[in-house]
Structure 1
Amino acid sequence: MASEIQVAGADEARKALIGVCDFDGILRGKHVFADDVSDEGWTIKFSEAVLGWDCSDRVIPANFGQEPPSIFGDANLRVLSGTARPVSNRHDRYLYLAEFAGGHESICPRGVLRKVLRRAADHGYSCAVGFEFEFMLFNESVETIEKKPYDQWVPLTRGPFGYSVARTLGSNELFEEILALCENARLPLSGLHFETGPGAIEASLRHCDALEASDRAVVFKSMLKSWAQKRGMMATFMAKVSENWPGQSGHIHISMSSNGQNAFYEGEASRNISRTMSQFLGGQLKYMNDFCVLAAPNVNSYKRLRPGYWAPTCPSWGVDNRSCAVRVIPGDKSAHRLEYRLSGADVNPYLALACAIGSGILGIEENAVLAAPIVGDASEEKHPPFERLPQNLSEATSRFEQSPKAMDVFGERFVEAFSRSRRWEWEAVQHRVSDCERQRYFEAI
């Protein structure tokens, strides 16, 4: 939050690394030096190509959308001086986050989240948010992982052993490095532990203002990957690395306040769920399928959303029920909140949070009705009303680009641009022949 941020001075700024988030949540950037910076914040030119590339730097063809960026031009980047974070142990190199300005602001992921948060503020609400990410560590370098087939990659640990104290103590040096990394970069954690799955770790970032929480989440993912590579390891935030292992989640804890009070809490109400929280939940469920692509943005995302792996399969909510898409976590006024469990670790944090809050604000505006909570496994079809989440990226993209409410909340230009990128992502994978197909069909068919 603004009061917690220490802005780097002129000398530090002259060693600045500028980073901006693309559609895939990848932090892209460059160093700037000397006359390119100022003490009060500044605007620089940056290639608009990052809004027209996919995750492998391939240009998305123009026929995948009506108004793609020209790709070959420069855009204005607004550098956010209050986001300065040291990214070296000597504190002689700072990372500044930036956002697209001018004509590109309407399709900038951070700008889209700000648009949603302004809509919440217009109703008198502010949001506190905490992200938690699961990731996998492999004892492989950039070189070795390219030379080995997938089934020979060596994870940090073998097999599932969630919350293991023995493994935590055995990996004490590694955990200390992660904690020091986060403390140095002003990314305070509230938890760090082994998850179930080989090499799987979960990090919970401490809650704060919604925009700052998203900034922290974006920086955390990039810095964790860089740290692992420096250590001769590889970290991945893929939603599903193997069909034999659980997926990697990116859950989002959300509470809202109004006039300094927790707007989700009502002491006299059932389970302390206020009318505002009920409407907010109702909106999240009502528009979950239409907005799903923001929280499940990749082909691989939908391989996580399967029964039996602690991931949702339908728009559902429950009280402290981890099989649901939204989990209400009862508590006192300071802790009462919800956990948005649809999103995986592969999300763009700005867009996933825009999805979770934007749909909730629609629920408040429309006085959405909330169905009874799910008791038991939410993936079982015995729970009415039962509507499955989109089954793949193509279906989710179609729902999003055809949704009038998506255009209302996120803006028509963003809906068109993001849908264009997701249609390309779907098509880019469909023509590829996988090892699974070779194993299944080569001899038998």
Structure 2
Amino acid sequence: MAEDIPDGDRIIRFSEAVLAWDCSDRVIPASFTQKPPSAFGDAELRILLGTGRPVSIGHDQCLYLAEFAGAHESICPRGVLRKVLRRAADHGYNCTAGFEFEFMLFKESAETIDNKSFDQWTPLTRGPFGYSLTRAVANKELFDEILALCENARLPLSGLHFETGPGVIEASLRHCDALDAADRAVFFKSMIKSWAQTRGMMATFMAKVSENWPGQSGHIHISVSVDGRNAFYDSESSQNISKTMRQFIGGQLEYLKDFCVLAAPNVNSYKRLVPGYWAPICPSWGIDNRSCAVRVIPGDPAAHRLEYRLSGADVNPYLALSCAIGSGILGIEENAVLAAPIVGDASEQKYPSFERLPQDLSEATSRFAQSAKAIDLFGDRFVEAFSCSRRWEWQAVQHRVTEFERQRYFEII
């Protein structure tokens, strides 16, 4: 058992097949165990008793998180994040994080979604109307339920509002210790999807639901401290950006392309990373610049931080945070050099080091699988297993004929 696991957690046996399933419960043929679908056994699973939270308001059911232990701990996403945080701790750093999630609500059920084409789905609200006071007041009952659900589940929010896009809501989870922040993010996504269905709605955290609408982000706010002091803050430096923060951001940008698949893990993820929608398309950083991959948010020592903007709402929070923090720690270890911040729209810059992020899941997976630094940071077994799963995901959609293709080519070709 790892040293940083608290006493009292319970070990049970659970099917290891879930580690080889894709999102449609199909077994990935070349899985981490190389076993046929009928040969999967049980593996050690650690129930994290301290994570228990009420599932809904007014009921006594609780939901607990669990992670794989023993032989499969090295490929369990939560175990990967703990490994990264131990590396940070070895340098004396304590990491704090907070997730922001955008999600879209549709006035549909699981049945009507299946029985209608997408253009017939009804979003909760029409039009963009980001930060709309009118929409927030008109949907006060809905907002009250979300706030009560989160308060009851010990998922404190620092913000809740309508975002740009029909039926889009953004929730900002309050910052806390990095591992707990990822736990809260997992609970939040699961509970919002379940809650929506009890209301006769469907919630989605897809990165891009329509090419005509903005994508759904999953930005991460991060700071690191040493002995309780914000290591990103230096009152003697420009914009209070310390040498440590510059190295941290330098590492994030250096490995943004190699580790991209951890923060953009699905085929759909790359539909979000396009110009014009405040999503990054290249390794870039700026001071309070939302077009960049990394946004520095200057403030007093208690608030000075960065925002990692690569990740979409579709991420596994443990892996996205492993990517954001792990690359930063590499930057500190390697004394990474940081170029001047971008002023203006980063997607329009033609600076010498300009290079687009991977354009699709296949390219991102190849870079990750071949990265020596990924193996060093996350472990060779995880890199192999995750790369295998992403290749499978890429292949799953390559031979599908879409409605768009039929409309575009059927008559004219």
With structure 2 as the length reference, what TM-score do the two structures score?
Answer: 0.97
Deviations 1:321-368 (A, max 9, x none): 000000000000000000000000000000000000000000000000
Partner of 2:406: 438
Partner of 2:146: 178
Partner of 1:234: 202
Partner of 1:130: 98
Deviates more, 1:310-319 or 1:40-49: 40-49
Contact 2:46 2:66 in 1 (8 A): yes
CA shift, 1:388, in A, is: 0.4
Partner of 2:375: 407
Are residues 70 and 358 of structure 1, via their aligned partners in 2, closer, same or farther at CA, if it must alter by over 3 Å?
farther
Aligned partner of residue 50 in structure 2, secondary structure? helix
Aligned partner of residue 259 in structure 2, secondary structure? helix
With structure 1 as the length reference, what TM-score do the two structures score?
Answer: 0.90
Aligned partner of residue 289 in structure 1, secondary structure? coil
Contact 1:311 1:324 in 2 (8 A): yes
Partner of 2:352: 384
CA shift, 1:75, in A, is: 1.0
The aligned runs of 1:91-110 (5 Å cut-off) are 91-110=59-78
Contact 2:249 2:331 in 1 (8 A): yes
Deviations 1:151-188 (A, max 9, x none): 11000001100000000000000000000110111111
Q: Percent identity?
A: 80
Partner of 1:286: 254
Partner of 2:226: 258
The aligned runs of 1:23-422 (5 Å cut-off) are 40-62=8-30, 67-68=33-34, 72-422=40-390
Task: State how far apart, in whole Å, the 1-side matches of 2:328 and 2:35 are.
Answer: 31
CA shift, 1:40, in A, is: 3.3
CA shift, 1:67, in A, is: 4.3
Deviations 1:249-286 (A, max 9, x none): 00000000001100000001011000000000000000
CA shift, 1:384, in A, is: 2.8
Contact 1:52 1:69 in 2 (8 A): no
Contact 1:374 1:383 in 2 (8 A): no
CA shift, 1:41, in A, is: 2.8
CA shift, 1:380, in A, is: 1.2
Aligned structure 1 segments of 4 or more residues deviating by more than 3 angstroms: 65-71
CA shift, 1:94, in A, is: 1.1
CA shift, 1:229, in A, is: 0.4
Aligned partner of residue 329 in structure 2, secondary structure? helix
Are residues 160 and 147 of structure 1, via their aligned partners in 2, closer, same or farther at CA, if it must alter by over 3 Å?
same
CA shift, 1:69, in A, is: 5.9
Contact 2:29 2:36 in 1 (8 A): no
Task: State how far apart, in whole Å, the 2-side matches of 1:90 and 1:151 are.
Answer: 37
Task: State how far apart, in whole Å, the 1-side matches of 2:34 and 2:131 are.
Answer: 46
Letter in 2 for 1:235: A
Deviations 1:54-98 (A, max 9, x none): 001011012xx5744665211110111111111132341111111
Aligned partner of residue 327 in structure 1, secondary structure? strand
Contact 1:51 1:69 in 2 (8 A): no
Are residues 291 and 328 of structure 1, via their aligned partners in 2, closer, same or farther at CA, if it must alter by over 3 Å?
same
Task: State how far apart, in whole Å, the 1-side matches of 2:35 and 2:216 are.
Answer: 32
Aligned partner of residue 347 in structure 2, secondary structure? coil
Letter in 1 for 2:237: A
Q: CA RMSD in A?
A: 1.3
Alignment length (residue pairs): 406
CA shift, 1:45, in A, is: 1.1
